[in-house]
Structure 1
Amino acid sequence: MRSAGAGVGAAAGLGLWGTWGGPAWLGEPRAVASLAPPDRVLEEVESPFNHIVVARNGDVVTMYFVVDGVYYIESRVDRSHPKSLDLDYTRTMMAGFLMQPRPTRLLMIGFGGGQISNYLFERVPGLEIDGVDIDPEVIRLARKYFDVPDDPRYRTHAADGRLFVEQAATEPGWDMILLDAFRGVFVPLHLKTREYYQTLLEHLSPQGVVVANLHNATPMYKHDRTTFADAFPQGYSFHTERGRQTIFVASADAERMSTYQMRANAELAQPAFDFDLRGLAARWYLGEDWDRGGAQVLHDDFTPEQLQQGIERHNESCRGEDCEYAYPTK
């Protein structure tokens, strides 16, 4: 799932705007689905932002973004049980309910096919959802193939994930903000800095939380975690079942939540879910799971004009020899 935007920094050869307080890497790589095209393509679109493929394999419908011939999973739903979360990391992102068991307003940055948003809209009574994606085609395909409902409580917005939040009212605030935003294979850096996290903090309700999908095996992880720790008073890590990703829950609450309270919140929220939240609570990683050595807080100093220029430049669809995507190497 994704909501795209500008890269942040002044890295040589990348043509970025603004200055960037940290290593000039592009972020974490998205999980690779396949090097070969899927068997049954339902629709293929070349938008100004993405090369999108929606395909079906038996009961499973998947939205892919294609970069340099590689198919990256953005959303997936199993039609044999469409009201369940099919991917491990999406289930683990429900860890936000262990800190905030009764949200009424939710913001999803990185809409994709709407899998997470659909699931929560169906299961959490009265929940209002704002789903944000930079690409109108992504939203259109989500409505066409992934059954995004047409409901006044479920709003979709074709917008950059940073500008949308900056332009939103701070009151009443969101109770939960989910970050699953990818620019092709990477999270755009302007959605990873302390300045952005401060903006999210200002738009949370008093008991609100931010839930972020992070790849813990990449060189960026220690910088991501250090930046979150600098921006938010409290943070909680939950590893996915396979351990490849960490779901990080950041809270503005000054007090550390106890294991007892987390388990109580799991019991309170459990009736809305079709998997064991108490088992998810048991995956709370109590220690630090990153190396602080050499880790930096990620900053940017964009003016509004520079941010808009960067969004226009770095949300262009990346194809063939013009692509500058690269995995971090150090």
Structure 2
Amino acid sequence: MDRQERLLEEVRDQYGVIRVLEVGDYRFLEFGEAIEQSCVFIRDSSWLEYDYTRAMLLGALCHERPESALFLGLGAGNLTQACMTFLPLEDVEVIELRPQVPRLAMQYMGLDDDPRLTIRIGDALDLVESAETADLVFLDLYTDTGPAPGHLAWKFLENCQQRLNPGGWLVINQWGTDDGRPLGAALLRGLFHRHYWEIPVKEGNVILLIPADLEQELVVEDVQARAEALKAQLHYSLQPLIDAIRPAT
């Protein structure tokens, strides 16, 4: 197997350097000093290589039939591409801070220029209130130094939940702390009244599954059935992540 690293493109913007690298059958999007943001399998851009992205896709299966999704942060577009491939989405909105990221995702990382897809450039903290409501909202805002401030901003997180349609789900890729809890656990418990679920993943992050309201429950058996129905298309099982679902800590 060819393991030689090839630099496909490097660009610089006001936030720093963005690189696209290729190693064998994989391409990587990096920010700053070799901080890996995303990994894409060249032969199938809807393949999710990492557990944290698989867990976020699993979060989408909390909804019976999602028709709309809002992505706060694009990265290489791997999760967005997977959701457009495997879910019955009709409308997909992305808010991405860095203008070069969508171009690189489409040019090198296999993100389709899909007619269902709308990309807006700007800070999600400023633009989320103007986004269309959605059945699914994905929050994954990371820089080369870690999670963006929005991951611990009460009003912003509240706004994210308020963008949900009735029955919708907010899925957050939250930084994990040394004790296995999500970053800002006390804030999250207060804001969402402990009414959410967590999936710890081997990359060290904790994926949060937050319903639109307090009357809404996560029914694991239903999620399991939807995951099983998708298994043949995904070519991997989500069962280990289902087994890891836990109430808010």
Same fold (TM over 0.5): yes
Structure 2 counterparts to residues 162-201 of structure 1, below 5 A? 162-169=125-132, 173-201=133-161
> Using the alignment, how far apart are the partners of 2:151 and 2:204 within structure 1?
21
Alignment of 1:87-236 (within 5 A): 87-169=50-132, 173-217=133-177, 224-233=184-193, 234-236=195-197
Contact map agreement 2:162 2:212 (CA 8 A) in 1: no
Structure 1 pair 218–139 and aligned structure 2 pair: CA distance change class (3 A): farther
The 1:128–1:272 alpha-carbon spacing in structure 2 relative to 1, beyond 3 Å, is: farther
**AA of the residue aligned to 2:75:** G
Q: Which residue of 2 aligns with 1:76?
A: 39
Q: Which moved more, 1:212-221 or 1:267-276?
A: 212-221
Aligned equivalents of 1:132, 1:39: Cα separation in 2: 30
CA distance in structure 2 between the aligned counterparts of 1:108 and 1:235, rounded to whole angstroms: 19
Distance of 2:205 and 2:131 partners within structure 1: 30
Q: In structure 1, the residue corresponding to 2:105 is in which secondary structure?
A: helix
User: Unaligned regions of 5+ residues in structure 1, if any?
Assistant: 1-37, 289-330
Distance across 2 between alignment mates of 1:142 and 1:60: 13
Q: Residue 64 of structure 1 aligns to which amino acid in structure 2?
A: E
User: RMSD value over aligned CA atoms?
Assistant: 2.3
For residues 117-139 of structure 1, give each alpha carbon's deviation from its aligned partner in whole angstroms, at most 9, with x where no partner exists: 01111121344211221110111
Q: Which amino acid aligns with 1:231?
A: L
Moved more, 182-191 or 270-279: 270-279
- Please say if 1:48 is aligned against 2:14: yes
266-275 or 48-57, larger mean C-alpha shift? 266-275
Counterpart residue number, 1:19: none
* Letter paired with 2:204: R
Aligned counterpart, 1:15: none
Alpha-carbon distance, 1:115 to partner: 0.6
**Among 234, 256, 271, which residue is 2:229 paired with?**
271
Distance 1:178 1:100, change over 3 A: same
Which residue among 49, 60, 63 is the counterpart of 2:26? 60
The change in CA–CA distance for 1:276 and 1:255 in structure 2 (over 3 A counts) is farther
- Structure 1 residue 96, shift from structure 2 partner: 1.3
TM-score norm. by structure 2 comes to 0.87
| Cα deviation code 1:206-265 (max 9, x no counterpart) | 11111111222259966622222222241101111x26221111113324636xx22123
Q: Residues 190 and 43 from structure 1, CA distance in 2 versus in 1: closer, same or farther, beyond 3 angstroms?
A: same
**Cα distance, 1:205 vs structure 2:** 0.5
SS of residue in 1 equivalent to 2:57: helix
Q: Distance in 1 between matches of 2:159 and 2:122?
A: 16
Structure with more relative contact order (C-alpha pairs < 8 Å, separation 6 or more): 1
Kept in 2: contact 1:95–1:249 (CA 8 A): no
- Cα distance between partner residues in 1 of 2:30 and 2:50: 14
- Could you say which structure has the larger radius of gyration? 1
Does the aligned pair in 2 maintain the 1:98–1:265 contact within 8 Å?
yes
Q: How many residues get paired?
A: 242
Give the C-alpha shift of residue 112 in structure 1.
0.8
CA contact (8 A) 1:228 1:250 kept: no
Of the structure 1 ranges 263-272 and 126-135, higher mean CA displacement relative to structure 2 is found in 263-272
1:253 aligns to 2:213 (yes or no): yes
Judge conservation of contact 2:176–2:204 (CA < 8 Å) in 1.
yes
Distance 1:219 1:71, change over 3 A: farther
Structure 2 unpaired stretches of 5+:
none
Judged with a 3 Å threshold, the aligned counterparts in structure 2 of structure 1 residues 77 and 251 are, in CA distance, closer, same or farther, namely same
Name which of structure 1's ranges 104-113 and 270-279 shifts more when overlaid on structure 2: 270-279
Gap change, CA 1:97 and 1:188, over 3 Å in 2: closer
Name the amino acid aligned to 1:58: G
TM (normalized to structure 1)? Answer: 0.67
Residue deviations 1:121-162 (CA, integer Å, cap 9, x gap): 112134421122111011111111012222221111111111
Quote the Cα distance in structure 2 between the aligned partners of 1:283 and 1:222.
14
